[in-house]
Amino acid sequence: MSKDASRCKVAAIQMVSTDSVKTNLTTMSAQVKLAASKGAELVVLPEYFSFIGQSEEEKVKWAEVDNYELGAKEQSIQTVLSDAAKENKVWLIGGTCPIFAKSKNKVCNAMFVFDQMGNRIARYDKIHLFKYKNGVENYDESAFCEAGNQPLMVDTPAGKTFLSVCYDLRFPEFYRRRCPEDVSPDVIIVSAAFTRTTGKAHWEVLLRARAIENQAYVIASAQGGEHNSGRETWGHSMIIDPWGDIIAECEFGKNIVLGEVDMKKLQSIRDNLPALQHQEFNLRKRLSC
């Protein structure tokens, strides 16, 4: 039976990463293999899948050079990602990896995309850096992370795929077309490590809103549980359709969420409710006249 080209099976992998890079990479590779055995063609990993330590600054310790730009022969995290994609014949969106930044003692929180042959197709650096404090928790990514400045959409077996990481999710304009000539994404990737506090309050509603307003599938892969550092992440990885319905989700712990991107369904929703065609541009300029 020939494959229906309008459908693509996808997977969001949920992890509870530790401070052992070796352990995390072993877990990741096993989960990608399992997702592939269940028919997944596109697999998404959570933010910081390779390392969550006692302090955020430790990520600098595990930073790698960009081996495609700088010619490094072997980098453990990037190499294992490439191997996992190639060995399982899947497209793999590699959560995030710490890559040396231009600023001293900082990293870029970089998301890599590998095709089914293990070739690196794209790199996106997280643009919006998380900052939050409530008297108990205190986070400031800008202290150790250098922000990216370029949104990125790539072609994958699931269609036009827009890349985003965690805190990016809070900025709806980030995902929207900038002008009438822009193409709307078919799929939005959200690789995250939402805290339990912010995740419980906002994770699902933000994900569903991004799906509805962009009439796109959302594949959200998250960290989910209590890490050996004491940090708690919200989990609840999920796949959402362009109508805003949750196709599949999990709660906490190591898991795999499977779903299907159906381009015929996506197009039907956009035809029936042509909201993307009704988007107005340059409203600020018009209102000032």
User: How large is the average pLDDT for residues 167-180?
Assistant: 96
Give the C-alpha separation, 3 to 39, whole Å. Answer: 12
pLDDT in the model for residue 104: 87
Give the C-alpha separation, 45 to 30, whole Å. Answer: 12
User: How large is the average pLDDT for residues 159-181?
Assistant: 96
Reply yes or no on whether the pLDDT at 94 is more than 80.
yes
Reply yes or no on whether the pLDDT at 140 is more than 70.
yes
User: How large is the average pLDDT for residues 230-252?
Assistant: 97
Confidence of residue 62 (pLDDT cuts 50, 70, 90): confident
Reply yes or no on whether the pLDDT at 57 is more than 90.
no
pLDDT digits (tens, 9 = 90+) for 248-267: 999 999 999 999 999 999 99
pLDDT in the model for residue 236: 98
Question: Which carries the bigger pLDDT value, residue 171 or residue 73?
Answer: 171
Could you tell me whether strands 42-44 and 7-14 are parallel, antiparallel, or unpaired per DSSP bridges?
parallel
The residue ranges of every structural domain in the chain are 8-287
Would you identify the CATH topology of the domain 8-287? Nitrilase/N-carbamoyl-D-aminoacid amidohydrolase (3.60.110)
Catalytic residues: 47, 126, 166
Q: Kindly give the residue spans of alpha helices, DSSP state H, lying in the chain.
A: 21-37, 76-88, 196-198, 204-214, 263-272, 283-287
pLDDT in the model for residue 1: 43
Reply yes or no on whether the pLDDT at 228 is more than 70.
yes
